Amino acid sequence: MMRLVVENGPHAGKQLDIQVGRSTIGRAPDSTLCLANDPSVSRSHLEVPNSGQEVTIRDLGSTSGTFVNGVAAPSQQTIHAKHGDRLRLGQSIVRIDSVASNSHAAPPPVVRKTDGKSCFQCGSSFSMFGARAKSHEFPALCNQCAGQTLVKLERFRRSLQGEINMWNGAPSHLRDRVTVRASEAGLDVSLALSRSADIAGSFLQRVLAFLLQDGQLDEAEEKIFFEYMSALNVSEQHIPSLVGQVRHYAFLRELRAGTLPTIRPSAMLPSAEIAHIEVPAVYFRELSSSYRRHTGSFLVTNSRFIFTQTDAPFEVALSKVLGITLCPPNQFELQLARRQGTGVYQCDQAFYVVEVARAALEFHLRHRVLQQSSSRAIPPDIKAAVWARDGGRCVECAEGDYLEFDHVIPFSKGGATSTNNLQLLCRRCNLKKSDRI
């Protein structure tokens, strides 16, 4: 018989004997081995079929992947499992043991229990004051043990910072190095990483900027980002802005693949017409010497643009649309083959309106945007040098989100892909600069 032992993570110490049949691991409550407190584990992450003759494992297409002895397991492929194998799922490390050979296996982790009256680490009873008083920062420890832990944590943070400053290896190898660093500092890796979220967050920001150097994030790059999150025990709650950027580019990727959102519009549409996006907007209609504001609702469907709920409604077929351009902040310009409706619109979701509208136009006209030339690719050493020089901030507005590598002299105008001709810009400043020098 084989047994699963959770060595590390929120469920450390948990065990499960693998019965003949199909066992599953995941966050779902009906999983045979439920790891509900590990946010990096998928609901249905892994299955462990046991035929009675052999035990195998199969990753079920999890978001963060499964690593067997530090090597990524191919998704949806069956792999033979043996005694001593260690599986990493999110923040958890699960060891496979053979019960028959348990005398030779490493003992399961000892989970010390405390009644709240003694130190979790040294076992001394808490006193009212002094070194053995309960620590405010680590309530399970006395002040003396807490002080020692803080020294270890500072040592680990310095070593972690040095490890990831110029890291360019695989996420699984990074996790192995981090585990070694934590062991050298005498710390549990989960505790060490939980107190180093700021360092991990800065590193993940740099990883995402490097992945976005071409302005797009494909599925493989998205998986790499989440693998780094898992390697550093970082949950989505720790870096909501970065995860939001990843979701944003995933949305754009779906749009460019022709998968447009579907909504229920406020206006009545023919049964064959599909609404994609509808937002409150203000239309600035140009007069001979001024502008007139018209407040209404801008709607994009699979066959037309509609401006409704206003005193100046209009609709135009997609075939009559010449172009739509983003005009930061929160504006877009619509160019039509007629005067009515042509002009500038203002709304809170201008960027998404433009992207969805362009996707609708491309799908309608059976047109797909050509991929950028691979010659625009930026070598890793140049990206690292530009990132370090610009301090991981937009050189125009000092923002740290949605960063992109921009050619000062545009690539389309002969600009070189070199350290001197590259700079960090946030997406808004990059759009504003466009292809100007």
Report the pLDDT value the prediction gives residue 297, as an integer from 0 to 100.
Answer: 95
Cβ neighbours around 4 below 10 Å, total: 21
DSSP class per residue in 152-185: HHHHHHHHHHHHHTT--S-HHHHHHHHHHHHHHH
Within a 10 A sphere around the Cβ of 143, how many other Cβ atoms?
20
Backbone angles phi, psi at 113, to 5 degrees: -105, 145
pLDDT along the chain (437 residues), means of 10: 81 83 87 85 88 83 82 84 84 77 43 64 82 84 89 92 84 87 85 90 92 86 91 88 89 82 89 91 90 94 93 91 88 91 92 91 61 59 85 90 86 80 88 74
- Triad 64, 207, 408: Cα angle to 5°: 145
For the four alpha carbons of 384, 390, 392 and 396, in that order, the dihedral sign comes to negative
Ordered DSSP codes for 123-139: -PBPBSSSTTBBPSSST
Token output for 236:
């989505």
Instruction: With residue 294 as reference, give the H or E element that holds it.
Output: strand 291-301
> What does the pLDDT read at residue 107?
47
CA distances (Å), 361 to each of 166, 282, 304, 319, 354, in order? Answer: 42, 22, 9, 8, 10
DSSP for 296-318, please give it. Answer: EEEEEESSEEEEESSSS-EEEEG
Pairing of strands 92-98, 343-346: unpaired
User: Could you tell me which residues come within 8 angstroms of residue 254 by beta carbon, excluding any fewer than 6 positions away?
Assistant: none
pTM: 0.55
Q: What is the DSSP letter of 238?
A: T
pLDDT of residue 17: 85
